Amino acid sequence: MIRRAAPRRSALTALLALVALLFAAPAAMAAPSVGVAGVDGRAQAALDGPTTLQLTGTGFQSIQGGFGGIYVVFGWVDDAAGGSWRPSQGGHTGSDYDYVPDAETADNQGYIRFVAFPGSDTEAAANGGTVAADGTWSTSLTVPGPTFTAKGRDGAITEVDCTQVQCGVITIGAHGVVNPSNESFTPVDFVAAGSGAAAATSPGAAAGTSESAAEETTERAAPTVGVDQATAVVGRALTFAGQGFDPGEQLTVTLDDGVVSLGPLNAGAQGEIAGALQLPGDTRVGTHLLRVSAAGSGLTTELEFTVTADPAAASAADLIAAQSAGEGHVWTAAEIAVAVAGGLLLLTVLVSLVTAQRRRRRARRAAQAQPSAPAPVDGVAAARTADAPPRASVARHYAAAPPIASSAPGAVDGPATRRPSPLPAHDPVDGPPTEQLPPVVTTEAVR
């Protein structure tokens, strides 16, 4: 009996645990939701101006020390009921959803709020608070009006009219982190402003808004423009951004005195502008001027910035151009190339002349140092010369030779006169002749 009870108790324990998980699952997997309080305290925004919405989030995932958090924006989604717009379902900005653009900084215009995870490395940059441990948060969000200009990650511009499509509050994972537990869409309708307030902020919000609008009309702030200094490199695309222009007006961007221009560009719904200007490959290294001119309002803003050489393509021409900046004449790449080619040609000629001169000197010295060659001496002849007797011995040799009788007819006998045959002519240096002929004896008639 004891052996059979153990399996029954184990099965009962597993069943109770399964039931507990089934009841606890809905609470753990509760879908995130956002409460919106706008015009008349409802999820409404004004048709004739900006509205500040008060938002309260519940059921969101909170990760202690996790990277990122939640982006809270106002925009439009393609499939609100089906959820195919969600980034976790493959949705993309510009095609599946759009929202009012704004700078992703803490001091932006209030169109984008960043709610960070508690203890995150990016918590200091949050402008919408943090997600509590129970998944709640609260912040405010500004809606510019029923229409806005959206810009996708690919740079595509889209005009959104919230009177034609359903707009609302969108929450997605921040800093590129896809998190389906924090994705939501809450519809917001546009209505005419009531008699009491134009936004759900405070009883005096409408009056304050009117006063600020009047001050803006009488004293308008000058537009501003900035560049990304990291892109201010010769041959690259310079990225820039500006604000303070009239919404929708056409703008022209020029570099220096029209070296390069871009436009016309249209300002966004809040008067903002952003783009990229291609810097030519022969742009001078140094200080340049970027000018943005508005056609409608006539406003113009300028910015001085520094262009640097491309580290991957730095050359001597760039260095010379940088050194000559501000000294009058600025050498162009063509002039530098001609100068370098001329210098190389002159150097080649000088090297050739020096080399030829050295060769002639070596040849002259060699000719002076070489002695006159003596007449060739045969080895065998030289040996014979050393063994040859002096001339006197040769004469005695001829005198001692026996007489030879003459067989000439009519010859008269008498004492013979020995006449040595003449020695063959030879060079005293070369020694005696190679053959010795026998002496010839002749007889003379006796008188």
Domain 224-324 carries which CATH code?
2.60.40.1930
pLDDT score of 296: 73
pLDDT, position 196? 41
Looking at residue 252, its pLDDT comes to 87
Residue given tokens 């000088």 in the structure block: 350
Residue 273's contacts (CB-CB under 8 Å, 6 or more residues apart) are 225, 241, 242, 243, 245, 251, 265, 267, 292
Residue of 77, 107, 81 lying closest to 94 (CA atoms) = 77
Please provide the DSSP assignment of 339-389 as one string: HHHHHHHHHHHHHHHHHHHHHHHHHHHHHHHSPPPPPP--HHHHHHHHHPP
pLDDT value at residue 369: 78
Question: DSSP readout, 187-208?
Answer: EEEEE---SS-SSSS-TTHHHH
| pLDDT of res. 117 | 93
Tens of pLDDT along 45-58? 999 889 999 999 99
Question: Are 31-201 and 224-324 in the same CATH fold?
Answer: yes
pLDDT by residue, tens only, the chain of 447 residues: 434 444 455 444 444 444 444 444 444 446 899 999 888 888 999 998 899 999 999 999 999 988 889 999 999 998 888 889 999 999 988 888 999 998 878 888 899 999 999 998 888 889 999 999 999 999 999 999 999 998 776 677 889 999 999 999 999 999 888 889 999 999 999 998 654 444 343 334 444 444 444 444 445 677 888 888 888 899 888 888 888 888 888 888 899 877 788 877 888 887 888 888 889 988 899 999 998 888 777 788 888 899 998 887 655 555 555 555 545 555 677 788 888 888 888 899 889 888 988 888 888 888 887 765 555 555 444 445 445 555 544 445 444 555 554 444 444 444 544 555 555 544 444 455 555 555 555 545 444
CA angle 193, 141, 147 (to 5 degrees): 55
Residue 15 CA to residue 266 CA, distance in Å, equals 65
In this prediction, residue 407 carries a pLDDT of: 45
Apex 287 CA angle, 105 and 225, nearest 5: 30
Q: Return the pLDDT at 72.
A: 96
How much is the pLDDT for 325?
A: 53
371-422 pLDDT, tens digit each: 655 555 554 444 454 455 555 444 454 445 555 544 444 444 445 445 555 5
The ranges assigned to domains in the chain are 1-26, 31-201, 224-324, 332-364, 398-447
What is the CATH topology of the domain spanning 31-201? Immunoglobulin-like (2.60.40)
Indicate yes or no: pTM above 0.85. no
Query: Residue 403: what pLDDT?
Result: 53
